Structure 1
Amino acid sequence: MVAASRRRERVNFRTTLVIIVLLIGIGGAYYLFFQEPSDQPTENEKPAIHQVYGVARDAVQQVEIAFADAAYQDLKLVKDTTDNWQLAKPFQADADSEKVNQMLDDILNKGIKQTLEVPELAQYGLDTPSITFSLWTEGDSPAATFFIGKKAINFSVYAKEKSEKHIFLIESCALDDLTKSPTDLRYRSDIK
């Protein structure tokens, strides 16, 4: 009789232990896979360009992109009164608003990886930037002008806002995001 009750206690203890382990496993899985992401930025999240410089994509009325490399044509895009983009330079044509908005999203949502205080811009390629990117929201002067310089380590590129002394690192795919030809951004029904 005593042996049978001890066996039941061991079985009850094992059963309880198995149930506790299963509950901990289910709780852990729920925590890992089903928890809502936090709206608050974490330490690893880098602030996006549009957050730091206060330039929202929908507020942009004009974009100018100038290239140091003569192989690329400088671009000027202007938003008309119906919020459609127009290509104004190197020639006039309707622009594909979806592609222009995607280009703006791509560059304005880039996270600033690191900010650096530097005495000389030349070693970072920012004395004569490979790309100059200007955004107008309203008025006659740009809200922000960015210089894109040399590639850095860890898939980064050096960048600088014209009015600031410091430089910063952003993802190097910004070069691909901005090196667009007029035909890349032109409305396709205009091409024959």
Structure 2
Amino acid sequence: MAGREDAAAAAAAGVTDEAKLWWLRFNNGAVDDDDDDDEEVEEEESDEEVVVEEEEEEGGEGEGGAAGETEGKGSCGQMERQSSPRSCGSSPSPGEEVSEDEYVQDSQRISQENENLRLQLALKTKELEHEENQKLRLQLELKNKDIESLKKQNDELKAEIEYYKKTTKPPRVARRCRWCEEYTTHDYRNCPQRRSY
């Protein structure tokens, strides 16, 4: 009955099975196997009683004041004498493991975000390059159309020049008139001075 009361008290105090196993390993200095003898089971029960007593003493610290503090110190001293030179309550808290897991998850999340950002950047640069290429193609097409239209205008102007060359007479060269003794484009027969006489 005492063992059941201790187990109920330990369950009420919130001691987990992992803490119990750790306490047994801590006191025995070796890992327990599954096929233990009855003596080891009795040692477990006695160790559980010690743990429950320690928790009750720790719980009494808040209520008992200074007297509870001296009792807690005494229990730590007893535990150190029974086991090893480790300090009282040196079990790894599950909160630390959770924080390490959180750090690992945060680092994985950040690395995943970085990878996503790299992919987005590469995709965006490809899109911008594609848009730039399309703009350049459109500009090239417009320039080609302008060149074609300018070529047509040039051909038209050349044809017009050829037409004028064929239809127009060449200008007269200035020659010396025998009547007025001047360099002009009229002939001496058409000289205005001669007509005036």
TM range, smaller chain: under 0.3
Higher helix share: 2
TM-score (norm 1): 0.24
Q: Which of these two proteins has the greater Rg computed from alpha carbons?
A: 2
Larger relative CO (CA 8 A, sep 6+): 1 or 2? 1
